[in-house]
Amino acid sequence: MIDTSLFQLICFYAFAAVTVVAALSVITLRNSVHAVLALVLTFFSTACIWMLAEAEFLAIALIVVYVGAVMVLFLFVVMMLDIDQEKLREGFVKFLPVGLVVAAVMLVEMLGLIGVRFMHAQTMGDNPATAAGMSNTAWLGMALYTQYLLPFEVAALILTVGVIAAVALTLRHRVGARKQHPSEQVAVKASDRVRIIKMAAERPTDSQPSPAQESKP
Amino acid sequence: MADQLINQLLLPLLYTLCVVLPLVIAVALYVWWERKVIGWMHVRMGPNKVGPFGLLQAFADVVKLLLKEVILPTSANKSLYYLAPLIALVPALAAWAVIPFSDKAVLSNANAGLLYLLAMTSLGVYGIILAGWSSNSRYALLGAMRSAAQVISYELAMGLCLVCVLVLSGSLNLTDIVHAQAGSKGLLDWFWLPLLPVFIVYFISGVAETNRAPFDVAEGESEIVAGFHVEYSGSAFALFFLAEYANMILVSFLASILFCGGWLSPFPASVPVLGDANPVWLAIKVFVFATLFLWFRATFPRYRYDQIMRLGWKVFIPIGIVWVLVAGCMKYYGWVHVGTGG
């Protein structure tokens, strides 16, 4: 018999291993497009781990938002860059000590955090979604829009402000820029462009053949 | 052990084959139907030499493509060049896991089915971008850039349309969404009526999302030869082709399931036989939507790039946002009849 919890554990370690390897290759791969793809793989396997933890909404949202939109834009930008790979590698040894210090500080901080959490360890309660007999997504929506409505709205407002700020920063009105106005284009009538006038027919008085006709072989 | 293996590994594999194989054959027939329909619209015959009514033309083309050499362009990025067609095809096939064909016939009756679909359709663009970048060609890169911008823009509009559907149905499960459209009035109970603007926006976004005419700037034969797949030949090209047509059929299925009642009958339940729910109804609806794709291609000239962006951002997304509010009001005040799930 295959033990389901053992199988879950194996899956977890497999996904975790993929995540770690992919995350490492993000910073070690020479080709920047490959590095972006490694980051995509990191997100994807992280989503798989969350799926194992029965956080299906978070997992799929991670894929829709980060893999489907943010990373596409990233890839878009990186593809356009013509980075001199050798130049980038030059500073590797020079900046290594700084990088090591930052990494060490982060490691100590994380260990401290994990230690504090461990000391206050509480056993996690049952999954509230399964306790309420709802799917993960439905429960999350219920909690967000009832219990946490105000923080949720505030977060949404902050994000909107961020969007407006980004637009305002990049939007410059340049003088002399040409624009098309589709509404005007659609509203155009034939009489705006062509003027038809009535006149009596005329016979050309000059009967000399044109030079273009003469030079014809 | 053996029992478990059969139940958990072999049977799902068989079921998956039961979806994928008909899908591939459907793609072949769809290509034939496209050439026939567009031929008739151009007052031509379309393919009529291979097999009865030219039906075997698509299969002959497949054999031809598979026998051709796959050429690797100079200084192309080899690994990504070969990976790109697969990345395009896998999400196009994976999305079918949650599509219900009738009350019981569905591979995975996932609760978050609609979200899963959104995730899968958003992955397909990687195949196009990587194909464009890795083939080391100007035309291919231009096609990839256009396609990336277009797909991201229209995904937002599409997402808003899906939000409207799930507000009314109150579920992300596709089977429940179909059940929510059941009612005594048949055709008039489906979501296309209360969500009419969103339904139109959804289908047009679907056409844009699959890079089909009139939104086919990613390929744009007359501008950039064939866009992202210009360097691909043989079986690698066949995979892109398969992915594109599988996605078109998928969008047709989604439009039928989300807005047109899936396998529900258009006639009121009181009509005998015709009023019963049947997968045949789903097939008819899908056929109509799939044919609309072809009709669009034969009718409309290609959109200019800036026109595509304007349509997506300035027309479709505002309509979507407004209609989310309208759908919320409909649900809150009970203006719409919503059938019971299950």
Count structural domains, chain B.
Answer: 2
How far apart are the C-alpha atoms of A128 and A132, rounded to whole Å? 6
pLDDT digits (tens, 9 = 90+) for A159-208: 999 999 998 998 887 788 787 787 888 888 888 888 888 888 888 877 66
Give contacts of B10 with chain A, Cβ < 8 Å.
none
How far apart are the C-alpha atoms of B71 and A183, rounded to whole Å? 47
The shortest C-alpha distance from A68 to chain B (Å) reads: 5
Tell me whether residue B341 is in a domain: no
User: Residues B47, B83: one domain?
Assistant: no
B residues 121-150 lying closer than 8 A (beta carbon) to A: 122-123, 125-126, 129-130, 133, 141, 144-145, 148-149
Tell me whether residue A154 is in a domain: yes
Selected residue with higher pLDDT from B277 and A48: A48
- By the 8 A CB rule, do B57 and B65 touch? no
Average pLDDT over residues A28-46: 86
User: Residues B271, B147: one domain?
Assistant: yes
- Which of A142-146, B54-58, B143-147, B314-318: highest mean pLDDT? B314-318
User: Given a cut of 60, is residue A216 above it in pLDDT?
Assistant: no
- By the 8 A CB rule, do B128 and B224 touch? no
User: Residues A30, A59: one domain?
Assistant: yes
pLDDT digits (tens, 9 = 90+) for B222-264: 777 777 888 888 888 888 888 989 999 999 999 999 888 888 8
ipTM passes above 0.85: no
Selected residue with higher pLDDT from B226 and B310: B310
pLDDT at B341: 44
Q: Report pTM.
A: 0.81
How far apart are the C-alpha atoms of A122 and A54, rounded to whole Å? 20
Cβ <8 Å between A73 and B152 = yes
Tell me whether residue B342 is in a domain: no
Instruction: pLDDT band for B210, please (50, 70, 90 cuts).
Output: confident
Whether chain A has a CB inside 8 Å of the CB on B94: the answer is: no
Return the CATH number at A64: 1.20.120.1200
Burial class (CB in 10 A: 0-12, 13-18, 19+), A197: exposed
Mean pLDDT, chain A, rounded, equals 81
Q: Which residues of B255-281 are buried (b: 16+ CB within 10 A; e: fewer)?
A: bbbbbbbbbbbbbebeeeeebebeeeb
Average pLDDT over residues B24-41: 90
User: Residues B261, B236: one domain?
Assistant: yes
Domain boundary among A133, A153, A169: A169
Selected residue with higher pLDDT from B341 and B92: B92
* CB nearest B119 (choices: A60, A75, A138): A60
The shortest C-alpha distance from A203 to chain B (Å) reads: 42
Mean pLDDT, chain B, rounded, equals 84
How far apart are the C-alpha atoms of B239 and B164, rounded to whole Å? 33
User: Given a cut of 90, is residue B146 above it in pLDDT?
Assistant: no
Cβ <8 Å between B155 and A69 = yes
Instruction: pLDDT band for A125, please (50, 70, 90 cuts).
Output: low
pLDDT digits (tens, 9 = 90+) for B39-49: 999 898 888 88
Domain boundary among A83, A116, A131: A83
Measuring CA to CA, which residue among B197, A185, A66, B324 is closest to residue B205? B197
Cβ <8 Å between A72 and B148 = yes
User: Residues B46, B89: one domain?
Assistant: no
pLDDT at B342: 38
Helices (H), chain B: 2-5, 11-41, 57-67, 78-94, 113-134, 138-169, 174-180, 196-209, 221-224, 234-259, 279-299, 305-310, 317-333
Whether chain B has a CB inside 8 Å of the CB on A7: the answer is: no
How far apart are the C-alpha atoms of B283 and B20, rounded to whole Å? 16
pLDDT digits (tens, 9 = 90+) for B317-328: 999 999 999 988
Average pLDDT over residues A27-42: 85
- By the 8 A CB rule, do B294 and B312 touch? no
User: Given a cut of 50, is residue B207 above it in pLDDT?
Assistant: yes
Tell me whether residue B339 is in a domain: no
Domain encompassing residue B120:
75-333
| B197, HSE (Cβ side, Cα atoms, 13 Å) | 15
- By the 8 A CB rule, do B225 and B261 touch? no
User: Given a cut of 70, is residue A149 above it in pLDDT?
Assistant: yes
What's the CA angle centered on B216, arms B225 and B62, to 5 degrees?
70
pLDDT at B200: 92
User: Residues A72, A118: one domain?
Assistant: no
User: Residues A11, A76: one domain?
Assistant: yes
Whether chain B has a CB inside 8 Å of the CB on A72: the answer is: yes
Tell me whether residue A78 is in a domain: yes
Which candidate in B9, B10, B90, B115 is best for mutational testing of the A interface (most A CBs within 10 A)?
B115
C-alpha radius of gyration, chain A, whole number: 32
User: Residues B173, B253: one domain?
Assistant: yes
Domain encompassing residue A138:
95-169
Give contacts of B119 with chain A, Cβ < 8 Å.
60, 63-64, 67-68
Which candidate in B75, B77, B121, B126 is best for mutational testing of the A interface (most A CBs within 10 A)?
B126
Average pLDDT over residues A28-56: 86
Which residue type does B262 have? G
- By the 8 A CB rule, do B100 and B106 touch? yes
Angle between helices B113-134 and A32-52 (to 10 degrees): 160
The shortest C-alpha distance from B285 to chain A (Å) reads: 28
Measuring CA to CA, which residue among B152, B116, B122, B254 is closest to residue B198? B254
User: Residues B57, B149: one domain?
Assistant: no
How far apart are the C-alpha atoms of A132 and B330, rounded to whole Å? 27
Give contacts of A31 with chain B, Cβ < 8 Å.
77
pLDDT digits (tens, 9 = 90+) for B152-203: 888 888 888 988 988 888 888 888 888 888 877 777 778 888 888 999 999 9
How far apart are the C-alpha atoms of A117 and B298, rounded to whole Å? 64
How far apart are the C-alpha atoms of A172 and A168, rounded to whole Å? 8
Tell me whether residue A114 is in a domain: yes
Give contacts of B123 with chain A, Cβ < 8 Å.
63, 67-68
User: Residues B23, B167: one domain?
Assistant: no
User: Given a cut of 70, is residue B296 above it in pLDDT?
Assistant: yes
Give contacts of B152 with chain A, Cβ < 8 Å.
69, 72-73
pLDDT at A124: 67
User: Residues B165, B52: one domain?
Assistant: no
pLDDT at B168: 86
Count structural domains, chain A.
Answer: 2
B312: its two tokens: 């997506």
User: Residues B194, B213: one domain?
Assistant: yes
Is-cis flag, bond preceding B214, omega within 30?
Answer: yes
Tell me whether residue A215 is in a domain: no
The shortest C-alpha distance from B328 to chain A (Å) reads: 14
How far apart are the C-alpha atoms of B219 and A196, rounded to whole Å? 41
User: Given a cut of 60, is residue B84 above it in pLDDT?
Assistant: yes
Whether chain B has a CB inside 8 Å of the CB on A76: the answer is: yes
Tell me whether residue A189 is in a domain: no
User: Given a cut of 60, is residue A217 above it in pLDDT?
Assistant: no
Percent of chain B with pLDDT over 90: 14
User: Residues B56, B81: one domain?
Assistant: no
